[in-house]
């Protein structure tokens, strides 16, 4: 697939078939994550991979934004011991870093025929306790993974003409 096809084809998936993801594919997805750019190359990410069905069920109970029965979850976290090395900008850059890592992982997943959904709506304290995540590590996003029941139609995008400002703010493409 061409890159643009992958970028446009990825969808947030909220219904999954009951089929496990081979470990080699999970590793490819995770590897795509660590190749994201990172401010000052601090790489503040930590990824907690969950494939245990019972743990996934428990996470569902404390995650209102998590739909369907995914085969795996990646809890994307920021290691604050690392991010604080970047000084004042550390917190913001770390969020950007892990977001880019998450997108890399979701695009890689899609290229392997695997659906994903980024999930911000979950109980951080609950996840921390359940997964034994230390105080200096903050879970910020869950990425669910699995083979989709179907690929939904793409939600509308704001048109380029509206979001692109040419040379100065407010001047749009003809």
* Binding interface with ligand FMN (CB under 6 A): 11-12, 14, 65, 67, 117-121, 154-155
Tokens standing for residue 8:
């446009």
Q: How far is the CB of 116 from ligand FMN (least distance, A)?
A: 9
CB-nearer residue toward ligand FMN: 119 or 137: 119
Q: Taking a C-beta distance cutoff of 8 angstroms, is the pair 142, 119 a contact?
A: yes
144 strand-pairing partners: 73, 117
CB of 171 to ligand FMN, least distance (A): 28
- If the CB atoms of residues 151 and 171 are measured against ligand FMN, the closer one turns out to be 151
Angle at 111 between CA 39 and CA 49, to 5 degrees: 60
The residue among 158 and 161 lying less far from ligand FMN, judged by its C-beta, is: 158
Closest to ligand FMN by CB, 120 vs 135, is 120
Instruction: Between 73 and 119, name the residue whose CB sits nearer to ligand FMN.
Output: 119
Supply the minimum distance, in Å, between the C-beta of residue 166 and ligand FMN.
25
Least separation in angstroms between residue 133's CB and ligand FMN is 19
Scored b (16 or more CB within 10 A) or e, 120-138 reads eebeeeebbebbebeeebb
Could you give the angle at the alpha carbon of 137 between the alpha carbons of 74 and 132, nearest 5°?
70
* Residue 68, Ramachandran bin (φ over 0: left; ψ between -120 and 50: alpha; else beta): left
């Amino acid at each position: 697939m061409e890159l643009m096809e992958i970028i446009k084809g990825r969808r947030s998936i909220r219904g999954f078939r009951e089929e496990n993801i081979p470990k080699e594919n999970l590793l490819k997805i995770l590897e795509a994550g660590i190749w994201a750019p990172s401010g000052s190359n601090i790489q503040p990410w930590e990824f907690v991979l969950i494939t245990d069905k019972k743990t996934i069920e428990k996470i569902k109970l404390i995650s209102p934004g998590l739909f369907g029965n995914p085969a795996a979850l990646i809890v994307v976290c920021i290691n604050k011991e690392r991010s604080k090395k970047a000084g004042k900008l550390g917190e913001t850059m770390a969020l950007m870093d892990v977001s880019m890592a998450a997108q890399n992982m979701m695009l890689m997943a899609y290229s392997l025929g695997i659906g994903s959904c980024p999930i911000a709506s979950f109980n951080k304290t609950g996840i921390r306790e359940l997964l034994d995540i230390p105080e200096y590590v903050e879970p910020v996003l869950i990425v669910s993974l699995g083979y989709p029941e179907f690929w939904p139609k793409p939600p509308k995008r704001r048109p380029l003409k509206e979001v692109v400002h040419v040379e100065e703010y407010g001047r749009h493409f003809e």
